[in-house]
Amino acid sequence: MADRPVMVVTGGSRGIGAGISLHAARSGYKVCVNYASAADRAREVVDRIRAQGGEAAAIPADISQPDDVARLFEEAGRALGPVRALVNNAGIDFPSPLADADVGSIRRLIDTNLLGVILCTREAVRRMSTRRGGNGGTIVHISSIAAVHGGLPGGSVYAASKGGIDSFTLGIAKELSTEGIRVCAVRPGIIRTEMWQGQASEQEVEEMGKRAVPLGRAGHVDEVAGVVVWLCSGAASYITGAMVNVSGGREIFVRD
């Protein structure tokens, strides 16, 4: 087990993050399942990984807080070994017309969705960079197809945070290209996850997929997870700075 690479998945306790954690474990990674508050859910993911013969640890951290981020990587290193892959998945949303949105909610969204990605990437680079004594690695950011089309009405702040991730991906991929670190982003479209709770029912999500996605359906978590884990693998060794849309073509056919 000692030769298995270590992957940190932020927001790994549910939804796409849980799917990535499980897929990564099946692909041979030791997985740090980060969570902010869903301790029971994180332990469930870890238990499933261990039941399948994998190795994992659940580590709490608020990724918008620099001290928490540093502790996350320190604990992951102690529990599992040197980190070789980071998936910046953690994110939140609060659908609201901009005129009705309070500043506290806006700041919390930006701090989690964008600042958190930057802070986690910074911490990973300090450990992975070959210029700093590391062995290199891969970083994958979970963006959104909303970064391309601006999101649905009420989702402009969320879309802006994801647009920031896209720009950051391009810039940091260039910056790290000589330090043994590849950086990419994945843009999910309409995926069946808990993030829709409070916005739309499961049936409404399915109907949205039928009418607003060229492939005629909502996507599955595993369809995102497989792409993420592939980008972290040696099969993608000549790919950096790439934005991969996992959206069923939604970016070319947007309807509410």
Is-contact 192 148, C-beta < 8 A?
Answer: no
Q: Write the CA distances from 66 to 9, 75, 82, integer angstroms.
A: 17, 14, 19
CATH topology of domain 6-252: Rossmann fold (3.40.50)
Q: How confident is the model at residue 239 (pLDDT cuts 50, 70, 90)?
A: very high
pLDDT at 195: 57
Dihedral (CA of 185, 37, 222, 251) sign: negative
pLDDT digits (tens, 9 = 90+) for 89-99: 999 998 899 99
**Percentage of the chain lying above the pLDDT 90 cut:** 84
Q: How confident is the model at residue 85 (pLDDT cuts 50, 70, 90)?
A: very high
| H or E, element range at 118 | helix 116-128
Decide: helix, strand or coil at residue 187. strand
- Poorest-pLDDT segment among 58-67, 93-102, 232-241: 93-102
Residue 169 has pLDDT above 90, yes or no: yes
Rounded to an integer, the average pLDDT of 211-215 is 88
Kindly state the tokens that stand for 19. 């799917």
Residue 2 has pLDDT above 80, yes or no: no
For residue 167, how many other CB atoms are within 10 A of its CB?
12
Q: Higher pLDDT residue, 254 or 184?
A: 184
In Å, how far from its chain's centre is CA 139?
A: 10
Tokens 């949205």 sit at which residue? 208
Return the active site residues.
158
Half-sphere exposure of 199 (CA within 13 A, CB side): 17
pLDDT at 84: 98
CA distance 173 to 182: 6
Residue 11 has pLDDT above 80, yes or no: yes
pLDDT at 232: 98
pLDDT at 201: 67
Tokens 């000589």 sit at which residue? 178
pLDDT at 200: 61
Kindly state the tokens that stand for 200. 């739309």
CA distance 244 to 98: 28
Rounded to an integer, the average pLDDT of 15-26 is 97
Q: Which residues make Cβ contacts (< 8 Å) with residue 7, sequence separation at least 6?
A: 24, 29, 30, 31, 32, 83, 84, 85, 86, 87, 232
Q: Higher pLDDT residue, 214 or 179?
A: 179
Mean pLDDT for all residues in the chain:
93
- pTM for the full model? 0.94
b/e burial code for range 169-194 (CB count within 10 A of at least 16 → b): beebbeebeeebbbbbbbbbbbbbbe
CA distance 195 to 58: 21
Rounded to an integer, the average pLDDT of 129-154 is 95
Q: How confident is the model at residue 199 (pLDDT cuts 50, 70, 90)?
A: low
Residues in the chain: 256
